[in-house]
Amino acid sequence: MPIAEKRALTEIVLWSVALAYVWMRFTAGWELAGQSFGLQVVEQGAGQVFATYLGVGLFVAAVQIGVTLFLSARGQDPEFRDERDQMIETRANQVAYWTGVTILNVIIIHVVATEAFARGRVVPLDLTSPTGIVFALLAALLLQEIVRNATRLALHRLT
């Protein structure tokens, strides 16, 4: 398996774990292995929201550095990209961009519809609160990275 594919596969796992962590910290619903996953945003204080945000950032940075050091120690250049890799990277970035645009539009429509039609009802996925907004934007960023790396992996396999 070429190094670009190893990197993409590693990052898919990394961003998926980060998304699962964010989902556990910001939502409630079903219990799985002692953690709660669901579609109901749990209101939290600014300190706890920031701690989750910072924790995800530090986790991702540490794993990225670890993978780079591991590949470098094995004599592989993790930054090497030929023309094919650059083309695949460009295409994956385009797909990730449009995925992000789509996700943000869905969030905007969801928030507007919630405000327009909820009137007194409890909405399961309330993104109008500060915690809901942070959750939605952070989940959108993580999903965008998952899509980008899945596209990279698929294009490496198909071309």
- What's the pLDDT at 71? 80
> What are the residue boundaries of the structural domains of the chain, listed by start?
3-158
Whether 141 and 85 have beta carbons less than 8 Å apart is answered as no
Vertex 118 angle, CA 113 and 122, to 5°? 125
Residues 18 and 35: their CA atoms lie apart, in Å, by: 14
Can you give the pLDDT of all 159 residues of the chain as single tens digits?
778 888 899 999 999 999 989 988 888 867 777 766 777 888 899 999 999 999 999 999 999 999 888 888 887 777 777 898 899 999 999 999 999 999 999 999 988 888 888 776 766 677 888 888 999 999 999 999 999 999 999 999 998
Q: Could you tell me the pTM of the whole model? A: 0.85
| Residue tagged 């939502």 (tokens) | 27
